[in-house]
Structure 1
């Protein structure tokens, strides 16, 4: 287990995960873009948006950047293929932090899409939904601009300051001249900004989940023909599972980290978190293919002995 603290072992594990996950991400995108039935047309692009950002985060960590962070400050270097072509470490690190925000924003977009299509197409929400979504994406895309502006311009001086203050930082790095210092610790303003955005996105997700559940239950009780609503309820239930289970992947390494001596094995803790997060999207993709019948049928028709039949009724989608 302690060997995961070393860059070479950590990098090889991420490459293995990338080799496993990239084909699955590609197949998931293929299913959404080319095999989504017409009856699911309204959810197609929102589902692809979620798939794209989740996959991009996975691939960025496991293949492109492979960030190797050196706590207790925000510093480190990259081991992935971006380092081969000379992409600056600070750019790739801040891009990954931005993707961390775009994934939950894409989840909000997915739930908002279902809420709008099913219940409020003719309500007041149709006038504010696009400004609402645009504001979310603007916040996510500009999230790291203040951090980038604070990156020390003279990295040689920044590294000297880092190792003078924390002699054991990046102790597993074979070449400490590769270390890029992003900043020397979160300020009160940085913590406030991060926590405020995270809390806002969490509240939005919970709000749409609750609204969908309440509206769906009411509609099923009052609707004369509830077949379409029942189909949509199954879809949303499958979507909840598709999103909830990968989210748990974020918490497992954090919980393990609490049990590990943060002074002795802090590098191990960081590496475990990145390994787990790099795998969250592929779990989501596998669940999507398994839980959504049209995509499951495509998979079985290609890799199994199942003959794909045309969809005749909406109730056969799940």
Structure 2
């Protein structure tokens, strides 16, 4: 069974190394497209898109190359398998906080990008121009507070924490022979960490959905009434751009949330919790690269850059792009 196969730390680590080798060139090309192939029309979204790209790239590369966290299911403990394990002098609690910070800032950067679209199109002359910065600061502050709480809860005496861990969860990390390298992040029998994490995730997801719905409503209203300072042609172009951004974000979000739901179901029916968590981590490590691939595919300037560079070095005209891309996508 595949879950039993990927329980092995060596197998799990090798798969992640292969994933990083596949995703790194794609990430580099995606960054090049944002920095050097973003058109004047997309200039207002350039830096918020680049901010999201950077954090997604950091998440992917942390999970698949640098850290490769191996969690000792079902306990809140684990150890790194990536190249960071060979770097001396990095405290494990600091490493845990940094990895948590990256994971939590990714959805906040999604909120920042949607807020940027709303502000540029509809909110730059109203009350929102004064509320937007406190709103954004609140989201980043929540991510920071969450990371600080994780840091505070890390047990100082790791030997005692490991003893408590294996007494409470003797099956945790059963395939690991050297138990001394396991780092316990929290050994208290408390539901508060799960409540805190689910509350923050729900809050951020609700904001993303709310901003997406709000932009769609304002866009439809502006097009219908033609009461916006923007021309109808500009609104139509922005609508297509936002539609592409929605797909670019929605599909990678599904890559994170759907496996989480599936893993919760599998954990109730399978004793191989370690394999389930490893599979979830492997899937999550593809979040950023899937977003980058979708960005290149859905945004016409980046799609044209890809065809121009990788199609025998020939410069691709708009006619060629139209012929090589399905007609439904060529409208973006």
Q: TM-score range by the shorter chain?
A: over 0.9
- C-alpha distance in 1 between matches for 2:36 and 2:107: 25
* Aligned counterpart in structure 1 of residue 48 of structure 2, from 38, 46, 49: 46
Structure 2 equivalent of residue 169 of structure 1: 172
- Equivalent residue of 2:253, what SS? helix
Equivalenced residue count is 313
Q: Deviations over 1:255-297 (max 9, x none)?
A: 4432356662000011001000000110000000010011111
Shift of 1:309: 5.8
- Whether the 8 Å contact between 1:72 and 1:185 is mirrored in structure 2 is no
- Equivalent residue of 2:177, what SS? coil
* Aligned counterpart in structure 1 of residue 148 of structure 2, from 141, 145, 150: 145
- Whether the 8 Å contact between 2:67 and 2:81 is mirrored in structure 1 is yes
- C-alpha distance in 2 between matches for 1:272 and 1:198: 20
Shift of 1:115: 0.4
Aligned residues: CA RMSD: 2.0
Give the structure-1-normalised TM-score: 0.92
- C-alpha distance in 1 between matches for 2:62 and 2:226: 45
For residues 236-315 of structure 1, what are the structure 2 equivalents within 5 Å?
236-257=242-263, 258-259=265-266, 264-305=271-312, 306-308=314-316
Q: Which runs of 5+ in 2 are unaligned?
A: 319-329
| Regions of 4+ moved over 4 Å | 260-263
Q: Bigger CA drift: 250-259 or 278-287?
A: 250-259
- C-alpha distance in 1 between matches for 2:94 and 2:311: 43
Give the direction of change, closer, same or farther, for the CA distance of 1:239–1:185 in structure 2 (3 Å limit). farther
Shift of 1:166: 2.2
* Aligned counterpart in structure 1 of residue 129 of structure 2, from 113, 126, 129: 126
- C-alpha distance in 2 between matches for 1:235 and 1:179: 46
Q: Which runs of 5+ in 1 are unaligned?
A: 311-315
Structure 2 equivalent of residue 222 of structure 1: 225
- Equivalent residue of 1:143, what SS? helix
Give the direction of change, closer, same or farther, for the CA distance of 1:256–1:204 in structure 2 (3 Å limit). closer
- Equivalent residue of 1:144, what SS? helix
Structure 1 equivalent of residue 104 of structure 2: 101
- C-alpha distance in 1 between matches for 2:310 and 2:186: 48
